[in-house]
């Protein structure tokens, strides 16, 4: 199979969107325009593999510059996403589409499932002795891709988690006896839950041990409902309240089939888009917590952050945004140098000042694999993070807000006898 | 009962916190410091009426300037909040505390329940011929206070609602067949739900009719589950998806007691902090929507925005922040001119350029009353807003993000026969 010197390129966006996934699309398009001698037309698959199978392609070459710039800063998958895994017979169809539209370069923006899909397509190309070049370009808020220091999309969701938890803890402490449970995304890895710990770093004039999140539960550690209740009891006994973060993936560990939602073609059960887990855990705390009598009723609430955490405009990490663009642009350069069957990763070059650079690793090292939060970033009790995690995450999220409390403001001496309210 | 020329002041924060409620505290403290000849010490009640009854007072006079500035920008009620309604015997106690601590000036920061509490305290003062001055200073994300153009706290939550819904709609459209239901706060009034409509104003290069929120349900109109399903069916049939916003208060209209949570002393049932309503409505759509067969499975999700909407740092409206400070500072000036038994309101002086000024109205016009979204701001079908609402809300929220789509980018002509996936 031969192509002319100038071949066409195709971009797919796949899996859950992020706040910066369109930066990666913009990076690819910008670099492709810079290399117009080799890349003729850039097509976009409308809704990923769906679009490719149904030959729903968009011609992105004529996209005006100002739209591309605006698009880059718009969350969500502009091309449309999909969660399909190519079947045997799908592969035949894909190569028909590639052939008909002279597509030689494929950029598959996605997470580890997309890396698997890219690998399946590439294996088929090998069998066919087909000159297709395919690169996987990383994107996932879950930060669970192997080999890369972190995934584009994670810095922004980590930034959102810090803000949301900080606000939530300030809200919770406004009341007596508040136990607040937050369910965040993270099916197999606790990276987002861990990032909520950044809220503590926002607190300026107070003992950070008193500030939430007081407890963080990640799928890396086995979840025990009994321990969960004991942990919250201990925090409540100490400071009269608790702000808790739970990664949705711990639902898989509960002896309760009610949390099993629908599954996609990669076998991933739906966990988000429902408040069930939070309601279940809140109910459990209401039932089991021993409450101090003098402070009024226990106030247990749960919030499930849901989809807003991954697609929130106005709270994007600048570093994340830049890196998301860079992995896209680098993918084009790498491919035109002959690379295929690889994934783009980010190598951390320096912590202070922070810098990173794109590099390539074999797809096989990433596909179907999950990077967990490593043991040295999780505390011994399995309900919080260590300083190693802060060192890792702080450069990725940008400047955080500062929060003040009344601090050591003076308590006024009491002059009256105690009041017992009827 | 007589006081020295210099008397003490007391501040309470009450009800649900907001992102800017501490600006109002800062406004009061700043103006009090400016008027040190008349106001000696400013006390804060730790957790509102709780703190007052239990004589848990804080001396705010010595709060360092830089902490006050930082505090002003920190969401949540820094003094601690409460949801107590003063009982007959509580009133006796309150006046004991006022007497012992030489408190002449009381600033009650809160919503309509707090206005009612302030009114009860003031009536007691009248009966006692007591020289207490009390002003209610408005605060509520719900924007349901009578007489004022809008309430401090609303501009910021409206800004959050615009961002969250914009991100959510971009997320939803990333997939096929997505029906997304968002539950936002608003027990009796639909102001927050209405504000989500601002997301459409962020869209730059696309028909805004295609952009979410496609449907908004507010407690001002009677909610029919059958109509809800029909509305979503119509939107789905037109554009293949729907992003929907429902104010939590419509739960009261469902023939289903499962949504009745615990109640506070003002009789308000807990609606937030649980995903039940969203899950219920999502299930109803899953059961009843007629799905086009060629687009794959229906994808129904619900998110309940919960507490993060009202206390999110990093997304505060500048106008809201300034006005929250101003109503606090104005309350001090008004009171020192002799005002009591009033609430501070914001009068809109001009739309373009926007300006407002504080004024006073009688507490009785505000206490226990609810300002609903007026009929001219709700569309005829009762599932969206009119331009009158946009004119009202746009000056309050600050600059909004801009969102771009691929717009009219060219579809590539198909060359192959249709593909039927097995």
- Catalytic residue numbers of B, as ranges: 142
pLDDT in tens, A249-268: 998 888 655 665 556 666 66
Q: Which residues contact A403 (CB under 8 A, 6 or more apart)?
A: A166, A170, A202, A203, A204, B70, B74, B313
Tell me the chain B residues in contact with residue A74 when contact means C-beta distances shorter than 8 Å. 170, 402-405
Contact B205 A279 (CB under 8 A): no
CB contact at 8 A, B122 and B342: no
Contact B67 A310 (CB under 8 A): no
pLDDT in tens, B329-351: 999 999 999 999 999 999 999 99
Q: A220 versus B261: which is more confidently predicted?
A: A220
Numbered ranges of CATH 3.40.50.460 in chain A: 154-314+374-397
Contact B315 A314 (CB under 8 A): yes
Q: Closest residue of A to B175, CA-based?
A: A81
Chain A within 8 Å of B311 (Cβ-Cβ)? yes
Nearest Cα to B369, choosing from B114, B191, B170? B114
Whole-angstrom distance, CA of residue B345 vs CA of residue B80: 23
Segment A232-247 shows an average pLDDT of 96
At A407, is the pLDDT very low, low, confident or very high (cuts 50, 70, 90)? confident
Q: Domain A154-314+374-397 belongs to what topology? A: Rossmann fold (3.40.50)
Q: Closest residue of B to A81, CA-based?
A: B174
**Interfacial A residues in 221-260 facing B (CB < 8 Å):** none
Work out the percent of chain A whose per-residue pLDDT is above 70.
94
Numbered ranges of CATH 3.40.50.460 in chain B: 157-309+374-397
Largest CA distance in chain A: 93
Segment A70-96 shows an average pLDDT of 95
Interface test with B, best of A110, A174, A264, A295 (most B CBs within 10 A): A174
Which strands sit side by side in the sheet containing B299-304, from one edge to the other?
Answer: B215-217, B242-247, B178-184, B299-304
Nearest Cα to A317, choosing from A306, A325, A305? A325
pLDDT in tens, A80-91: 999 889 999 999
Q: Which residues contact B353 (CB under 8 A, 6 or more apart)?
A: none
Q: DSSP string of A332-375? A: HHHHHTT--SEEEEEEEEETTTTEEEEEEEEGGGTTT--PPPPG
Whole-angstrom distance, CA of residue B32 vs CA of residue B400: 35
Chain B within 8 Å of A78 (Cβ-Cβ)? yes
Whole-angstrom distance, CA of residue A63 vs CA of residue B205: 12
pLDDT in tens, A276-327: 899 889 999 999 999 986 667 899 999 999 999 999 999 999 999 999 999 9
Work out the percent of chain A whose per-residue pLDDT is above 90.
85
Distance from CA of A55 to the nearest CA of B (A): 6
Whole-Å CA distances, B34 to A211, B61, B328: 33, 12, 13
Choose the CATH number for A7-152+316-365 among 3.40.50.450, 3.40.710.10, 3.90.1150.10, 3.30.710.10: 3.40.50.450
* CA Rg value for chain A: 24
CB contact at 8 A, B204 and B170: no
Whole-angstrom distance, CA of residue B214 vs CA of residue B210: 8
Contact A167 B404 (CB under 8 A): no
The beta-carbon neighbor of B50 closest among A93, A176, A414 is A176
DSSP-derived letter for residue A378 is B
Whole-angstrom distance, CA of residue A193 vs CA of residue A187: 11
**Interfacial A residues in 85-124 facing B (CB < 8 Å):** 87, 89-90, 93, 96-97, 100-101
Q: Which token pair is B232?
A: 């979503």
A15-45 CB burial, b ≥16 within 10 A, e <16:
bbbbbbbbbbbbbbbbbbbeeeeebbbbbbb
Contact A101 B401 (CB under 8 A): no
The beta-carbon neighbor of A275 closest among B180, B304, B313 is B304
Tell me the chain B residues in contact with residue A178 when contact means C-beta distances shorter than 8 Å. none
The CATH class of the B157-309+374-397 domain is: alpha beta
Contact B71 A308 (CB under 8 A): no
Interface test with B, best of A296, A406, A416 (most B CBs within 10 A): A406
Residue that has been written with the tokens 């990763």 in this structure: A345
Chain B within 8 Å of A263 (Cβ-Cβ)? no
Q: Closest residue of A to B276, CA-based?
A: A275
**Interfacial A residues in 338-397 facing B (CB < 8 Å):** none
Choose the CATH number for B7-152+315-365 among 3.90.800.10, 3.40.228.10, 3.40.50.450, 3.40.50.2000: 3.40.50.450
> How many beta-carbon contacts under 8 Å exist across A and B?
304
Tell me the chain B residues in contact with residue A416 when contact means C-beta distances shorter than 8 Å. 55, 96-97, 100
Residues of chain B where predicted confidence (pLDDT) is lower than 50: 1-3
DSSP-derived letter for residue A179 is E
Task: Give start and end residues of each alpha helix (H) in B75-190.
Answer: 88-100, 112-127, 154-172
First to last CA, chain A: 88
Nearest Cα to B89, choosing from B49, B131, B137? B49
| Burial class of residue A206 in the structure, from the number of CB atoms within 10 Å of its CB (0-12 exposed, 13-18 middle, 19+ buried) | middle
Nearest Cα to B348, choosing from B148, B184, B168, B199? B148
Residue A411 has pLDDT above 60, yes or no: yes
Q: What is the ipTM of this complex?
A: 0.95
Segment A67-92 shows an average pLDDT of 95
Whole-angstrom distance, CA of residue A106 vs CA of residue A35: 15
Nearest Cα to A202, choosing from A390, A351, A409, A410? A390
Segment A103-129 shows an average pLDDT of 94
Tell me the chain B residues in contact with residue A78 when contact means C-beta distances shorter than 8 Å. 404-406
Q: Model's pTM, two decimal places? A: 0.95
Numbered ranges of CATH 3.40.50.450 in chain B: 7-152+315-365
Q: DSSP string of A131-171? A: --EEEEEE--TT---SSSSS-TTHHHHHHHHHHHHHHHHHH
The pLDDT score that the predictor gives to residue A273 is 61
CB atoms within 10 A of CB A92: 12
Segment A359-379 shows an average pLDDT of 95
Task: Give start and end residues of each alpha helix (H) in B190-348.
Answer: 191-195, 225-239, 276-288, 318-336
Whole-angstrom distance, CA of residue A18 vs CA of residue A310: 5
């Amino acid at each position: 199979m031969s192509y002319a010197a100038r071949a066409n390129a195709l971009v797919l966006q796949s899996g859950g969107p992020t706040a910066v996934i369109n930066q990666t699309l913009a990076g690819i398009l910008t670099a492709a325009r810079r290399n117009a001698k080799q890349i003729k037309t850039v097509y976009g698959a409308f809704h990923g593999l769906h679009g490719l199978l149904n030959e729903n392609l968009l011609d992105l070459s004529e996209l005006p510059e100002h739209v591309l710039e605006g698009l880059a800063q718009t969350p969500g998958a502009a091309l449309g996403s999909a969660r399909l895994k190519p079947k045997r017979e799908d592969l035949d169809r894909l190569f028909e589409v590639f052939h008909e539209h002279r597509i030689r370069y494929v950029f598959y923006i996605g997470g580890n499932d997309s890396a698997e899909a890219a690998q399946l397509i590439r294996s088929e190309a090998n069998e066919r002795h087909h000159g297709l070049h395919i690169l996987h370009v990383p994107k996932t808020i879950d930060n669970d891709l192997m080999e890369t220091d972190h995934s584009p999309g994670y810095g922004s969701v980590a930034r959102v988690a810090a803000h949301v938890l900080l606000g939530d803890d300030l809200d919770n402490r406004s009341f007596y006896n508040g136990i607040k449970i937050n369910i965040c995304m993270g099916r197999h890895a606790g990276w987002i839950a861990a990032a909520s710990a950044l809220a503590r770093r926002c607190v300026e004039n107070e003992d950070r041990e008193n500030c939430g999140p007081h407890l963080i539960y990640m799928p890396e550690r086995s979840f025990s409902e009994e321990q969960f209740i004991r942990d919250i009891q201990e925090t409540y006994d100490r400071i009269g309240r608790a702000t808790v973060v739970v990664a949705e993936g711990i639902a898989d560990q509960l002896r309760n089939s009610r949390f099993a939602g629908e599954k996609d073609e990669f076998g991933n059960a739906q966990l988000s888009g429902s408040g069930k887990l939070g309601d279940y855990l809140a109910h459990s705390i209401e039932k089991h917590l021993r409450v101090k009598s003098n402070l009024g009723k226990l106030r247990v609430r749960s919030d499930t952050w849901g989809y807003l955490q991954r697609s929130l405009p106005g709270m994007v990490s600048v570093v994340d945004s830049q890196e998301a663009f860079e992995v896209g642009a680098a993918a084009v350069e790498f491919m035109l140098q002959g690379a295929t069957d690889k994934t783009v990763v980010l190598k951390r070059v320096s912590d202070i000042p922070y810098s990173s650079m794109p590099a390539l690793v074999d797809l096989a090292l990433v596909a179907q694999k999950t990077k967990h939060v490593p043991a040295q970033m999780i505390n011994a009790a399995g309900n919080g993070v260590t300083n190693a995690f802060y060192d890792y995450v702080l450069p990725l999220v940008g400047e955080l807000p500062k929060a003040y409390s009344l601090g050591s403001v003076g308590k006024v001496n009491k002059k009256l006898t105690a009041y017992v309210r009827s």
